[in-house]
Every structure is written in C-alpha cells, then in structure tokens.
Structure 1
Amino acid sequence: MDLQKSPPPPRRPEGCLVVAVRLPVRIVVLVLVVPVRMVWDALVVTGRLLRDTVLRPLGRALLWAGRALFVWPFTALWRYVLVPAGRALAWLVRALVALVVVPAGWLHRYVLTPLGRALALLARGVGAVLAWVHARVLGPAGRGLARLLKGVGAVLAALGLGVYTAVAWLARYLLVVPARWLYTWVLTPVGRAVTWCARGLGWLLGVLVTGAGLALYRTARVLFVLPALALWRWVLAPAGRFLVFLLREVGDAFGHAWRIAGRISRAVGRFLGTLFRWMVAEPVRWVYRTVLTPVGHAVRDAVLRPVAGGVRAVGRVTREALAAARDTARQARAEFRRMLFGTSPEPAAVDRREPVARDTRTLGRSTTALTKD
C-alpha cells in the first residue's frame, strides 16, 4: 500500500529571510501559547469532572422532575379524562345521528322529495302556458310595435343625415382647408429651420463636452491614476505580500506551538497526577488498608456485633412482652363480655350422615356404614 501512494509534492526551497522570520516568531508564540494551552487543558479537565459529577446527575434529576411535573400529569389527563370524554362524546354523536339525522333523511326522502317533484311538475305546466301566451300573443304584438318604431327611426335618420352633410361641408371649407394650408406653407418650414439649428447646437455642445472630458481624463490620469498605480504596484502590493507571509507564518507558528504546548501540558498533567498519587492517594490507601480496615474489623467484632445481638435480644423480649400483653387484654375483653352478655349458646349438632366409631368405612371391607343393617 505504501508503494502505491503518490509521493508528496516537492517543497520549494525557502530563503534565509523566511527562516530568520520563522524561528523568532515560533519561539515567541510558543512562550505565549504554553500557559494558554495549560489553562485550556485544566479548564477541559474541570469541565469534564463537573459534567460527570454535577451536570449529568442534575440533568437526570431535572429530566425526572420534568416528567413528574409535565409528562405524567398530561398522560394521566389524556388517559383518564380526555379519552373517556371523547368516547362519551362519540357515543352522544352516534345517538344524535340515530335520533335526528336518520329521521331527517327519511323525511327528506319520502316526504320533501315527492312534494318537490310535484311542485316542479306544476311549475313546468305553468311555464308551458306562459310560453304559449308569449309565442301566440305577446310576440306578434311586440314585432308589430318594433316595425312601427323602425319606420319612425328611418324618417328621423334621413333628416339627421341632411343636417350632418351641411355641417360637415361648412366645417371642411371653413376650418380644415385653412388649417392644412397653414401647416404646409408656414409651420413645416419653421419647424425644419428650428430642427436644423438645434442639431447644429447639439453637435457644437458635443464637441465641447468631448474636448473637456478628454482634457479632464488626461489630467486625472496624470494626477491620480498613475500615482495610485505606482503606489499599488511598488508599495501596497509588496507590503500586502509581506503581511500575508507574516500572518501565514504566525498562523503556522500558533498551530505548531499549540501542538507542542499540548504535549507539554500532557506531560505536566501526568507529572502532577503521579505526584498527587504518590503524595496523597497512596498514603491514604495505605492508611485505609493497614490502619482503618483492621480497626474497623476490630470495632465490628468487639462492639457492633455484641450491640447488635443485645438489640436483637431486647427486641425479641419486647415482642414477647407485647404478645403476652395482647393475649391478656384479649382474655380480659372476653371475660368482660361474658360477664355482661353471658355465654353464647352452643351451635346445634348437624347430622352429616357420616359414620362414627367402629362403623366407619374401611379399605379392607366391601360394605359401608350406610349399607349396613
């Protein structure tokens, strides 16, 4: 697999300026980043410890409290209130349908529909009568009246056409012909002269504006564009390249310093953990194992077990005394009741048809007590 991998791209040779900038920057950044990385690792460890010991149990407690306060009451409300209410409402709706909708449908189907059809048939007959009256009576009368009105309108139109022809002839020779002559021989030459003068004036203004714009362009190029171009090319671009190079080196230095600071912080953390284990944990463990455990066993065997046995004996004696007191109280109540109300009668004997004494049934004989003479 290693032989199949493509070789890494060759790195460009770096000059002495790059090395001279990179080494001081990395040293300074490493000195600045190491405390920050150690503080960061300490905060990470503290945050994990806080999460595992405080936040996670607190979150579980809050989750349980949320369920107890919100989920379980709403579940009980849904299960024991809303669902039964919905079922009761559904039963009520079904009863309403059975009591109202079905009779209403029957009324519509067997009463209102035949009545509506009868009314529609009656209306159709009345409409046929009205159509016959319109076709045989009202239609011919209307057509005669329309012909009369059409004749009167034709006479009025002929009179109006004569008046319109006279007015049109007067308007043509009094207004249209003079206006056309004025437009052709006066207004058109004047408009053409004005248009030619406006075109000449526009050409002159265009030449002046073009010349002024060219002069301003040359002036602005010499005064602003060429100096700005020289400033960009010979000052800002090299400064920007150097700034980009410096920022890239600072970023690489921060990454390199962060990784080295992580290793240093890990080594310091392991050293502090080992120191804490050998200075605190191991002595505490040794004291617990060699001192506290034997002392605890001795206290358990010499003190706690006898005390526990005595407590159990006292509890046993107390229970027996309480049982005796209960029996005595029960007997006293029975004697007091017997003294007040007398002895209760014995229940009468009931013949259960079971043989007694020697006449009971045995496995060795074929007869029974019930079949004996």
Structure 2
Amino acid sequence: MDLEKRPREGSETWVDPRERPAGPAVRREPDAPEGCLAVAIRIPVRIVVLVLVVPVRMLWDALVVAGRFLNDTLLRPLGRALLWLGRAVFVWPFVGLWRYVVVPLGKALGWLGHVLLVVPLVWLYRYVLTPVGHAIAWAARGVGAGAGWIARGVGAALGWVYAWLLTPVGHAVMWVLKGIGAGLAALGIGVWTAVAWLARYLVVVPALWLYTWVLAPLGRAVAWCCKGLVWLLSTIVTGIGTALYWIARILFVLPALALWRWILTPAGRVLAVVGREVWDALGHAWRVAGHISLALGRLLGTLLRWIFVEPVRWVYRSVLTPVGHVVRDAVLRPAAEAARSVRRTTRQALAAARESVRQARADFRRMLFGEPRQPQPVDRREPSGREPRTLGSSTTALTKD
C-alpha cells in the first residue's frame, strides 16, 4: 500500500501537521495527473528506500544523541578547563609582566630620558643656541646690507656701460647683419626659382605622363584579373562547402537528431521520473524513519526511566533521604556545634594571649625608657565636652579678661 496519504481527486491536498506553517490554513492546488509509469514505480521504490533508510536514520539519531551527550558532559567542560588553563599559562603571566614590570620600567625610563636628555637639550637651546643664533642673524643682516650697497654700485656701473657702450655697438652689428641677410635672401629666391623650373620639366611632367598612359592602364588590367581569380576561387570554395555541409548533415546531424529524439529523450524522461520518485521516496522515507526513530527513542527512554531512574529516585526519596536526615540531626549538627565551640574557645584563648604579650611588651618598654611624655593641653578657652557657651565663660571678644 502507499506509504504516503493521498487525497481523493477534487479534495484538498494533505499536509503533514508538523510541517504546516503557523497561521490560517493554506489551500494547495491539486497535483497534476501523473502517468502510469510514475504510479507503478512509486510503491516498490518507496518500500525499498524505506527499508534502506530506517537503519541509517536510527543510526543518525543515535549519533546525534551521543554527540550531544558527549558535548554536554565532556567536550564543553574540557574546553572551559583548557580555556582557563590557557589563560593561566599564557595570558595572565603576560598581563602581569606588562602591568607590573614593563609599564613601571617604561615610566622610569621615560622620566630618566626626560631628566637626562630633554631638560639639558631645552636648556642648551634656550640659553646657548638662541643667543648664538640671534648674534649670527644680526651679523648676517649687517653683511647683507654691505653686500647690497656694493651690488647697487656695481649694478649702476654695469647699467652705464650697457646704455652708452653695448647698445650703440649692438645697433651697428644688427644693421650689418640685416644687409647681409637681404642679399642672401635675394640669392636664395633666384636659386629656388631655377631649381623649381628644372624639377617641373625634368621630373614632374615625365612622371605624370608615365602614370597616365602606362601605370594606370596596367593597374586596371591587373585589378580585373585579380577580381576574376577571386570570383573563381570563391565559387569553387562555395561548392565544396555546400557539398561538405550536406555530407555532414546526412552522415552526422540527421542520425544524431534521430538518436536524440527517439532514444535519448524518452530514456531521459524515464530516468527523470525514476530519479524524481527516488528523491521523493528518500525524503518520505527519511521523515517516516524520523517518526519511527522518535517513537523507538521515546520507548527506550520510558523503559530506561522505569527500569533505572524511578527505582533510583524511590531509593533516594524513601531510603537515603531519611537516613541522611537522621545522620545530619544525630551526628553532623552536634559535631559542627562542638567544632564551633572549640573554634570559639581557641579564638578567645589566642586573643587573651595576644593581649598578655602586648601588655608585657608595653611594661618592658616602660621599664627601659620610662613613661612617654604626655602632650600638654592647650587652653583654647573653649567649653570642653558638650557644654554650651555662656556669657561668663569668656569665650567671646566682648567678655574676655
């Protein structure tokens, strides 16, 4: 029979109460009609998968319970102990070294450096280098003023030489150079005109005739031949490509298309149906195995509780607790009271002994050095104790003697 509850056609799809989301009920659309292949595969596949998955799920749940118990009882306390040990071994010694050794040593070195380096350097800068710098600056200002006066005199002399000697000589040289340049320019223009006329009639005109009547017709003929050759080669390549295309289509494409359409596609659909059913069967079997494992775990827990826990609880509650109360009332409380009495007596004896030793030490000191000098009280003319002031006590400026 089907392991999953199926609704009748036209009714609401059944949803597992544990998987139902919180809130108002949501209606699901009925599943699409399935083929006979899916229905025929579903039942045997789910039976086989359930038989295979139940032991795995029970083993998984047992490992989860064992892991949680091991984590709560061993790994977590061990981790906390290792963490505390790591702090005690690595963190706290370095913290103590930093706090009680490095920081005080650094402060001491900083104070020593301030006293030995900063204070002398500040004194040297303030009382030695600053006056020396001021003196050097004053001397530099004097030297700069003298150098400026000398430079102004030299500049005036050089200005007179430039204005009355170099400028007339430069004007004369420029007039001579302008005349020479005008002659050279006229000569260059004549030479350039002659060279241009010779180049036009000896080079340009023959080259233009050669291009127009020889090279241009020859180039057109070569271009026409190349176009014909390219058209012939393209026609040959097109024919060969068309033949190869039809050969490849008939020998490879059509058989591969037939193989894909009539063999691989139906086989893939069958495998997809089988795979989907196997996947659904695995999920369903995993959930059913979870219910079975939960029920078995609750049964084992109940048996363990009734076989071990309840007897131990009854023994603790009915036997050990009364016995413990009797032992506490008859033995432990009297023993604790006697121990407190002994501790109280011992504490009083030790206090009396300390007081006796203190008194003997004070007597011995008084015997050797005498009585200590008592301070003389100062008369502040103030009432002693809590006595109120009066007009006859002379405690104000108006009533002093």
Please show how residues 224-373 of structure 1 align to structure 2 within 5 Å: 224-305=252-333, 308=336, 345=370
Structure 1 residues 77 and 138: CA distance shift in structure 2, 3 A: farther
Please show how residues 126-205 of structure 1 align to structure 2 within 5 Å: 138=166, 141-205=169-233
CA positional deviation for 1:149: 1.8
Q: Name the CA distance, whole Å, in 2 between partners of 1:15 and 1:193.
A: 76
Q: Which secondary structure does the structure 1 equivalent of 2:29 belong to?
A: coil
Q: Which residue of 2 aligns with 1:360?
A: none
Structure 1 residues 156 and 276: CA distance shift in structure 2, 3 A: same
Name the aligned partner's letter for residue 95 of structure 2.
P
Q: Name the CA distance, whole Å, in 2 between partners of 1:235 and 1:185.
A: 73
Q: Which residue of 1 aligns with 2:63?
A: 43
Q: Name the CA distance, whole Å, in 1 between partners of 2:359 and 2:216.
A: 147
**Percentage identity across aligned positions?**
59
Structure 1 residues 333 and 196: CA distance shift in structure 2, 3 A: closer
Structure 1 residues 212 and 150: CA distance shift in structure 2, 3 A: same
Q: Name the CA distance, whole Å, in 2 between partners of 1:148 and 1:317.
A: 137
Q: Name the CA distance, whole Å, in 1 between partners of 2:374 and 2:174.
A: 127
Q: Which residue of 2 aligns with 1:33?
A: 53
2:29 maps to which of 2, 6, 9:
9
2:95 maps to which of 49, 56, 73:
73
CA positional deviation for 1:18: 1.3
Q: Name the CA distance, whole Å, in 1 between partners of 2:297 and 2:200.
A: 115
Q: Name the CA distance, whole Å, in 1 between partners of 2:78 and 2:176.
A: 104
Structure 1 residues 209 and 275: CA distance shift in structure 2, 3 A: same
Residues 237-276 of structure 1 show CA distances to partners (whole Å, capped at 9, x for unaligned) of 1222222222221221111111111111111111111111
Q: Name the CA distance, whole Å, in 2 between partners of 1:203 and 1:77.
A: 97
Uncovered stretches (5+) of structure 1, i.e. residues with no partner: 354-366, 369-373
Q: Which secondary structure does the structure 1 equivalent of 2:188 belong to?
A: helix
Q: Name the CA distance, whole Å, in 1 between partners of 2:281 and 2:319.
A: 54
CA positional deviation for 1:319: 6.4
Structure 1 residues 347 and 217: CA distance shift in structure 2, 3 A: closer
Q: Which residue of 1 aligns with 2:21?
A: none
TM-score w.r.t. length of structure 1: 0.70
Q: Which secondary structure does the structure 1 equivalent of 2:31 belong to?
A: coil
Q: Which secondary structure does the structure 2 equivalent of 1:10 belong to?
A: coil
Q: Name the CA distance, whole Å, in 1 between partners of 2:83 and 2:179.
A: 99
Q: Which secondary structure does the structure 1 equivalent of 2:66 belong to?
A: helix
Q: Which deviates more, 298-307 or 10-19? A: 298-307
CA positional deviation for 1:23: 1.0
Name the aligned partner's letter for residue 206 of structure 2.
P
Matched residue count: 349
Residues 72-94 of structure 1 show CA distances to partners (whole Å, capped at 9, x for unaligned) of 82984899569969997999999
CA positional deviation for 1:97: 9.0
Name the aligned partner's letter for residue 73 of structure 1.
V
Name the aligned partner's letter for residue 172 of structure 1.
R
Structure 1 residues 307 and 230: CA distance shift in structure 2, 3 A: same
2:44 maps to which of 6, 9, 24:
24
CA positional deviation for 1:158: 2.4
Q: Name the CA distance, whole Å, in 1 between partners of 2:57 and 2:308.
A: 26
Q: Which secondary structure does the structure 1 equivalent of 2:28 belong to?
A: coil
Q: Does the Cα contact within 8 Å between 2:38 and 2:274 map onto a contact in 1?
A: no
Q: Name the CA distance, whole Å, in 1 between partners of 2:373 and 2:110.
A: 57
TM-score w.r.t. length of structure 2: 0.65
Q: Which residue of 2 aligns with 1:53?
A: 73
Q: Aligned Cα RMSD in Å?
A: 5.2
CA positional deviation for 1:297: 3.8
CA positional deviation for 1:154: 2.2
CA positional deviation for 1:224: 0.9
Name the aligned partner's letter for residue 257 of structure 1.
A
Residues 161-198 of structure 1 show CA distances to partners (whole Å, capped at 9, x for unaligned) of 33333333333333333333332222222222111111
Q: Name the CA distance, whole Å, in 1 between partners of 2:153 and 2:253.
A: 98
Uncovered stretches (5+) of structure 2, i.e. residues with no partner: 1-23, 379-391, 394-401
